[in-house]
Chains A and B, each alone.
Chain A
Amino acid sequence: MDSEVDKPSHLSVILDLSPTQWYLSARATNPYPLTIGSFLSQLLAFLNAHIGTKNENTLAVFGAFPGKSVMLYTSTEALVDEPPPLDANSYPPFRMVDTTVTRQILRELDAIEPGDEPPCALVGALTKALCYINRITLPSTSSTNVAEGSTHLPDPRILILSVSPDLSSSYIPIMNAIFSAQKLKVTIDVCKIYGADTVFLQQAAHLTNGSYIYLERRDALLQYLIMSFLPPPLVRKVLTVPRQDKIDFRAACFCHKNIVDVGFVCSVCLSIFCQPVPVCSTCRTKFPIKALQRLKSACPSPAPAPPRPLANLNNAVPRTTEATNHSTPGLR
């Protein structure tokens, strides 16, 4: 009966593979430069550790490329046609993961057109991961033993390895994804490898009981990955994993995408505005003049507390110029 406690677990890893951000991350001026090549080799060791520790563990890898999200590997389907030849020195499943993931990433990176780089399709990758988890946790309707499936639920997790800053336009889809993760009882872990903290992913980790880690010593990536993201939830009850403690629950307003402390909310659709507006831009509701005046008088400064911009949008500025030159850095 030990399988009851020692349940197999499922891990979906989402890789943020924005060429620009990885180029920035590899610059020697950074305190700990990290190239995509060394990132991948450490990541593969982590993936192997996950499938190696238990035979029934399942793995899926998704890549968020500029404007596109791709499933890179799953343990249920063969994504590349030709499996790698057996090698006496390596465990066959490890070899399978390593070659498939590298091959797929190379293929996608090669396909990127030089030019302006659209933002990474993190949301697409995240929703795909959720759809995939939904598929494997739901007992398939075609299988005869429906009841059996429920007893063998792998205990699902999503790990997001992020390098890109928050995209304020993806606020609502990310929140929607978080809520569906809550419904599916999926834990979302986030490792911020490069760039400033992202508020959205912090909330994702907090709301799904996962851990959000800002990678400070980037030369120790693998140790971070193993200690914080390898243990399944049951082990985390004994060996704690680091968590962030202070969480920003502020929201971005709909009008200027500013992050606000005190906002004005439309009672019909709950759109948030940073200052009183006469008409809701989302649902076209007109607000009574009296209320407007009342609110304006309620906050002494007309624009309440100079709104702080999304901290991490700052990082996005140099993107377009550098992207043209270095849009496809090679893996090695």
Chain B
Amino acid sequence: MPSVQALSSTPSDVPQIVPHALLPFLRSQSQNTLTRLYQRPSSCLSILRLLGPLERQLIMNLLWLESAIPVSTMAAWVVPDGKKLYSEALSVLVGLHIVQNSTVKLALNPTLKSSLRQAITGGGTTASFGVPAERDEKRLPVGIDSLDAYALERWETILHYMVSSGQEQLPTKPSQGVLYLLQRSGLMQSTNGSNLQITSAGFQFLLHSPHDQLWSLLLQYLHMAEERQMDLVEVLSFLFMLSTMELGRNHHSCSQEYTADSLSETQKAMLEDLRDYGLIWQRKGSSKYFSPTRLATTLTCHSPPLPTSTTPGTSATTSSTEVALSSTAGPQGFIILETNYRVYAYTNNPLQTAVLNLFVTMKYRFPNLVVGMLTRDSVRRALGNGITADQIISYLVAHAHPQMRKNNPLLPVTVQDQIRLWELERNRLKSAEGFLYKDFASQADYEYVLAYAKQLGVVLWESPAKRSFFGTLEGHANIRGFIERRSGAS
């Protein structure tokens, strides 16, 4: 790890470990909150999974030690090149109060230690992995397929609502809670009381990977929960519990239901919200049982096996479930981009088509194929919406068709460059407020003042021929004072 540095933008050698979106939020919590959270084995396990590989290994190294070890002992295992990564990892752990802050000894938070040990050896009576419901003949088990379909439908409803908010025909509205959350997170806003409109942040959101999208919504949910005076520990541990639950059982291929009886009041209240997001499934709103969907059980996976990039709808249901299952191996790409700026998208999913429509001029639509062109206008429209060129490119990379993956580089260079150039084009004119200084009496005067202004670093433009220069607003007072002092002195 130490030897690799960010060199190019191809996805194969992006070495930077992006810390998980939830970690900064956890860091901002008090030690007390975190320690309460660590009481539950499932939370410990989930947090462990959210951390980077090095942090995980450090925790595991310390987990089975009975006493604290000297800092130098652990540091002795670090190779010289890895010192920086090691200290970064350690500071992450200290920030999360996983490792006790000490310069002499290293030890895990005792609460976390005992919970994590419990999680790994399987014991205790915390029931933090969810209490399974008794199998009941009357309640027919629901299959994984239908759970996937349900989660997908919920999730795409949200995205679809966002993407088509600017158009006339409105798709089905998500529930009020979801709308509020979208508005709250700044992904959509209502201008002068009219319908909700997608914001530029929202446009960017659409191009993110489903995993990122889910977590940024959940983060907003957590912030909202804080405001609604919900107990954060309860909220978080419920999310973590969901992420460690089992999606159905392999050989029955039907879901395992969990009972809601053991949940706290806060958590029961959350059931409804999470149902709206498609994270859990309930037979009825008032049901005592619930099943997590794939969206929930894959929360702590780093590569998102979300069923989002499937092609449901008009095609037969069998094919949609098939794709959903195969998507556990990774999202399946569907876009082919040619050097002539043509985009072929093998999809019949209205959501994917709509997202593409953000930056592609659509030409033809076939039952399983959409053809479009990347044009200057279409890309500029997207840029105008606040989407950046890099986001467009990374979306195309992330959803590239398997056939495209044989190419190196993956996207045609000309097209990548052109998209970037179109972005630069928008930045040709820059406006800055300031003052024009002209009509200097002599060349010497001009040069003297100019030198001073340059020293301050406030010169935006200069023209020796015209004996004038343009300075920023901030520098004006200084320059003016300088000129006055000089003219006063002479």
Contact = CB atoms under 8 A, between A and B. Distances in A.
B2 A83 contact: no
B79 A88 contact: no
Interface string B85-114: 110000000000000000000000000000
Interface residues of A, number: 53
Contacts of A91: 41-42, 45, 119, 122, 129, 244
Given A91-B42, A235-B54, A239-B54, A53 B1 contact: no
Interface in B373-405: 402-403, 405
A91 B85 CA distance: 31
Interface string A205-228: 000000000000000001100110
Contacts of A45: 64, 120-121
A295 interface: no
A157 B329 CA distance: 20
Interface in B457-487: none
B374 to A, nearest CB: 23
Contacts of A227: 61, 77
A234 to B, nearest CB: 6
Contact of B129 (A48, A90, A234): A90
Interface stretch (A1-9, A125-133, A303-311, A321-329): A1-9
Interface stretch (B137-145, B295-303, B350-358): B295-303
A226 B126 contact: no
Interface stretch (B156-164, B185-193, B248-256): B248-256
B57 interface: yes
A94 B120 contact: yes
A267 to B, nearest CB: 43
B60 interface: yes
Contacts of A98: 122
A185 interface: no
Contacts of A49: 60, 63, 120
B293 interface: no
A173 B250 CA distance: 37
Interface in A238-256: 238-240
Contacts of B262: 88
Contact of B405 (A81, A148, A223): A148
A45 B124 CA distance: 15
Contact of B82 (A55, A56, A239): A239
B166 to A, nearest CB: 30
A98 B120 CA distance: 11
B77 to A, nearest CB: 5
A92 interface: yes
A237 B79 contact: yes
A147 B405 contact: yes
B122 A145 contact: no
A113 interface: no
Closest CB pairs A-B (n = 8): A90-B122, A238-B82, A88-B127, A147-B405, A86-B132, A92-B246, A3-B303, A55-B301
11 contacts: A2-B17, A4-B14, A52-B49, A53-B53, A83-B251, A86-B130, A147-B403, A226-B60, A232-B53, A237-B1, A239-B61
Given A53-B56, A143-B326, A238-B86, 10 more contacts: A1-B11, A2-B17, A54-B49, A55-B49, A147-B402, A147-B406, A152-B303, A231-B53, A234-B53, A237-B79
